[in-house]
Amino acid sequence: WRNLNIDKKPIVLMIARALWHKGVKEFYESATMLKDKANFVLVGGRDENPSCASLEFLNSGVVHYLGARSDIVELLQNCDIFVLPSYKEGFPVSVLEAKACGKAIVVSDCEGCVEAISNAYDGLWAKTKNAKDLSEKISLLLEDEKLRLNLAKNAAQDALQYDENNIAQRYLKLYDRVIKNV
């Protein structure tokens, strides 16, 4: 963050392509509401697709837009809160990456995100397309360090179930059961 001239406030990070349905507008609105409490950073590529936010929009306001980056793990390790306010998701890999880095997470309560985060256990759900609710959830984590650290600890623990070695072990156990029943 040193190269970005970001002050010492906590860092709220969103990693997603700069598509409207990823909740970019709500992220920017939340950043405006909470600009005195935290720095907001958006990382993700864009193209000329009409569903992408314009560069003019992305570079306006209080969010530091970094574009596409290859140092995602380093960025995650150095942020305080990860946010994904999508309108819809499959199973969001960026959320798993944030969990693996032990971050407090806020996601929208849309399909996909609610499968990745258990509300109030390893993250918080905010209402989809609702910048005010998103801001309230982020603010809660900024103000309540104990909650933030507890969610982060649970997120890191939960991420272990997605480790390839754990998945391989579960498949081997399943195959053993199938073979024994043949």
Q: Give the torsion sign (CA, 62, 66, 72, 74).
A: negative
Asked if 82 and 14 touch (Cβ cutoff 8 Å), the reply is: yes
The kind and range of the H/E element at 136 are: helix 131-143
- Dist. CA 94–CA 10, nearest whole Å: 20
Token pair of 161 as six digits: 């179930």
pLDDT 10s per residue in the chain (182 long)?
A: 667 778 889 999 999 999 999 999 999 999 999 999 999 999 999 988 899 999 999 999 799 999 999 999 999 999 999 999 999 999 999 999 999 999 999 999 999 999 999 999 999 999 999 999 999 999 999 999 999 999 999 999 999 887 676 666 766 777 778 888 87
Token pair of 83 as six digits: 């946010």
Q: Where are the domains of the chain?
A: 2-180
**Which residue pairs from 44-49 have beta carbons closer than 8 angstroms and sit at least 24 positions apart in sequence?**
44/14, 44/15, 44/16, 44/17, 44/18, 44/68, 45/17, 45/18, 46/17, 46/18, 46/19, 49/19
Closest CA to 113 of 95, 134, 99: 95
- Dist. CA 23–CA 82, nearest whole Å: 13
- Dist. CA 125–CA 115, nearest whole Å: 11
Q: Which CATH class is domain 2-180?
A: alpha beta
Edge-to-edge strand list for the sheet holding 81-84: 63-67, 39-43, 11-15, 81-84, 104-108, 124-126
**pTM to 2 decimal places:** 0.89
DSSP 160: G
